[in-house]
Chain A
Amino acid sequence: MAAIELRGVVKRFGPITAVDGLDLDVPEGICLGLLGPNGAGKSTTMRLLTGQALPDAGELRALGHELPDDSKAARAEMGVVPQLDNLDVDVTVEDNLAVFARLYRVPDVGAAVDRALDLARLRGRRRDAVDELSGGMRRRLLLARGLVHEPRLVLLDEPTVGLDPQIRTQLWTLIDDLRSRGTTTLMSTHYIEEAERLADEVAVMAQGKVISRGRPAELIREHAGRETAEIYAPPARLAEARAIAEADGLRVRPAGPAIAIVGSERAGNGAVPDGAVRRAASLEDVFVLLTGEEAE
């Protein structure tokens, strides 16, 4: 049984179609990265799964529960880690966790709080108010709060957005632990590296639907080949190099101040200029080719 099954899901906000015929299966025990640019429909998909948005069409099932009718029972077995910090800042660390242990009907609240404190490595700060914690501690607490009831399914909505690299790495370690314990995880992100490092499979989402899905290595092989050549040069030279590569049937994408010729291993003589930096193809190449958006 898939932990999440979505069939033809549509969600509109007035004239905007945020989710447009979305089909998505998340098998139990994997971490699926939902990768897409801002506005791709990732957060709306998360809200549909928690019953905070109602679909205009389609079928949704989470952990065997029909949504939105049986959403409350589904949420009892899900943990949600939101994009925005919504901790109670004046309240102590342990009280923040205890409130959610009660909301999730955990029988032994004290034991659940202790477990979550260990997970967040905040046992020594349990009686401190949240606003006394550092940014990294708060994000760990937010994650631990979503796991306080040992959920079968975890929804991570852009879990590291806006964080500095050090805090992001701390969070990644915790999320990786979650995956190694076999907890099914759906993680929306627009960070390529995050998806590449944490997700067993990646579904690339754009304009409200999944446009490609697979293991990161499979996606790279399928869409980007083996090698990418990056060319750094003045704009006129870049335009010339792009025209030559495209004439040779190669795909070219912008890469900040450079251009990247994707699948450069197939290039004919002269299609990739001397001085190009050749590197292994990446998920970023796939993302940009599929969505047309610059990666972060």
Chain B
Amino acid sequence: MEAGTAPAGRTRLRRLEPAAIGGVMSRELANFRTYWRGTTFSSVLEPIVYLLAFGLGLSATLVDEVGGVPYVQYVGTGMVATAVIFSSALPAMFGTFVKHRFQNTYDAILAAPVDVEELVSAEMLWIGLRASVYGCVPLLVTIGFGLDPMPGMLLTPLFAFFTALGFAGFGVAMAATVAKIDQFNYVTALFVTPLFLVSGAFFPIDQLPQGVQIVAQLNPLHQLVELVRGGAFGFEAVDLLRFAGLVGFALVMWRIAVSRMSKRLID
């Protein structure tokens, strides 16, 4: 090799370059090719198990329908939120922590012409894209359980993407904040599980106390559930606001994640 022929040296380097973001995402893709079978298997099997247990089990014994929707379909559409949070917040928390603290992956990437903003954006985008695909699986499984396909359902990947983007940012920010990996137990117990339970995935939130209902309205997962059900059973005007809220959530979490990771990665 001859020295001094680096092509990138002649290019102008700006913020948020697609080449840098694409490069980081190509690393994720290369890794994903080594473990996609296991992840895909569990993401398909889980909604089937949940639908059998909650949907068929509960609907046969306790709940027949909710708001005129068969309970199995109610749970099936709600489980998009479950799939999204578990394929975004958790991989972002654990994946980021492991890559930073144990594998020193980010040291290698940041030695290349990639800045923290591009690194975090790429990680979030990758998780967002992946979760938008896995988020659709419960819906597809529910179709197998009798849900009628509707054109509005085609928007599910978009809703799932922005929600997952926000939760990926949340996960990255948490990974940059905790001192030890076992502190994620606090994050899961205090944030992830409550958000998932009061999302309206398994039961309507209007049965809950007033205070909890207000909190639930601020829960991005609840907005996602409502949007997915809108796609399946008919949208309302307020759904535009819900979608705007999810985009805003993603933007805010993106900036928080970039800020937290910059503090963590740059001495």
Residues of A near any B CB (own CB < 8 A): 11, 13, 44, 47, 50-54, 63, 72-73, 75-78, 80, 82, 84, 86, 88, 90-92, 95-96, 98-100, 102-107, 115, 119, 129, 145, 147, 149-152, 155, 181-184
On whether A72 and B13 interact (CB within 8 A), knowing A52-B266, A103-B114, the answer reads yes
**B83-112 interface bits toward A, Cβ cutoff 8 Å, 1 = contact, 0 = none:** 000000000000000000001110111111
Residues of A near B267 (CB, < 8 A) are 11, 13, 44, 47, 52-54
Give the residue of B8, B30, B104, B266 whose beta carbon is less than 8 angstroms from that of A86: B104
Instruction: Please report the C-alpha to C-alpha distance between residue A53 and residue B266 in the assembled complex, in whole angstroms.
Output: 5
B105 contacts A72, C-beta separation under 8 Å: no
Residues of B near A86 (CB, < 8 A) are 103-105, 107-108
Cβ distance A155 to chain B, nearest Cβ, rounded Å: 8
Shortest Cβ distance from B14 into A: residue? A72
Give the residue of B2, B34, B103, B107 whose beta carbon is less than 8 angstroms from that of A52: B107
Instruction: Please report the C-alpha to C-alpha distance between residue A72 and residue B23 in the assembled complex, in whole angstroms.
Output: 15
B110 contacts A52, C-beta separation under 8 Å: yes
B111 contacts A72, C-beta separation under 8 Å: no
Shortest Cβ distance from A154 into B: residue? B3
A73 contacts B9, C-beta separation under 8 Å: yes
Give the residue of A52, A91, A105, A155 whose beta carbon is less than 8 angstroms from that of B31: A91
Cβ distance B174 to chain A, nearest Cβ, rounded Å: 22
Cβ distance A16 to chain B, nearest Cβ, rounded Å: 12
Residues of B near A84 (CB, < 8 A) are 104, 107
Say whether B26 faces chain A, with CB atoms less than 8 Å apart.
yes
Instruction: Please report the C-alpha to C-alpha distance between residue A183 and residue B6 in the assembled complex, in whole angstroms.
Output: 12
Chain B interface secondary structure, helix, strand, loop or mixed?
helix
Shortest Cβ distance from A11 into B: residue? B267
A82 contacts B111, C-beta separation under 8 Å: yes
Instruction: Please report the C-alpha to C-alpha distance between residue A252 and residue B9 in the assembled complex, in whole angstroms.
Output: 50
Residues of A near B7 (CB, < 8 A) are 105-107, 149
Give the residue of B9, B11, B113 whose beta carbon is less than 8 angstroms from that of A152: B9
Say whether B239 faces chain A, with CB atoms less than 8 Å apart.
no
Instruction: Please report the C-alpha to C-alpha distance between residue A96 and residue B109 in the assembled complex, in whole angstroms.
Output: 12
Instruction: Please report the C-alpha to C-alpha distance between residue A181 and residue B2 in the assembled complex, in whole angstroms.
Output: 7
Give the residue of B1, B11, B31, B111 whose beta carbon is less than 8 angstroms from that of A90: B31
Shortest Cβ distance from B12 into A: residue? A73
Cβ distance B26 to chain A, nearest Cβ, rounded Å: 5
A76 contacts B113, C-beta separation under 8 Å: yes
Give 26 pairs: A residue, B residue, CB < 8 Å, sorted on A. Answer: A51-B110, A52-B266, A53-B267, A63-B9, A73-B9, A76-B113, A77-B8, A78-B111, A80-B111, A82-B111, A86-B108, A98-B26, A98-B30, A99-B30, A100-B108, A102-B19, A102-B26, A103-B24, A103-B109, A103-B114, A105-B19, A107-B7, A147-B1, A151-B3, A151-B6, A183-B4
Cβ distance B106 to chain A, nearest Cβ, rounded Å: 9
Say whether B46 faces chain A, with CB atoms less than 8 Å apart.
no
Instruction: Please report the C-alpha to C-alpha distance between residue A143 and residue B114 in the assembled complex, in whole angstroms.
Output: 19
Shortest Cβ distance from A63 into B: residue? B9
- With contacts A78-B111, A86-B104, A91-B34 known, what are 5 further pairs, Cβ within 8 A? A73-B113, A88-B31, A145-B108, A149-B8, A151-B6
Give the residue among A77, A80, A99, A151 with the most B Cβ atoms within 10 A: A99
B6 contacts A115, C-beta separation under 8 Å: no
Residues of B near A50 (CB, < 8 A) are 110-111
Cβ distance A71 to chain B, nearest Cβ, rounded Å: 8
On whether A88 and B105 interact (CB within 8 A), knowing A54-B266, A99-B23, the answer reads yes
Shortest Cβ distance from B30 into A: residue? A95
B26 contacts A150, C-beta separation under 8 Å: no
Shortest Cβ distance from B102 into A: residue? A86
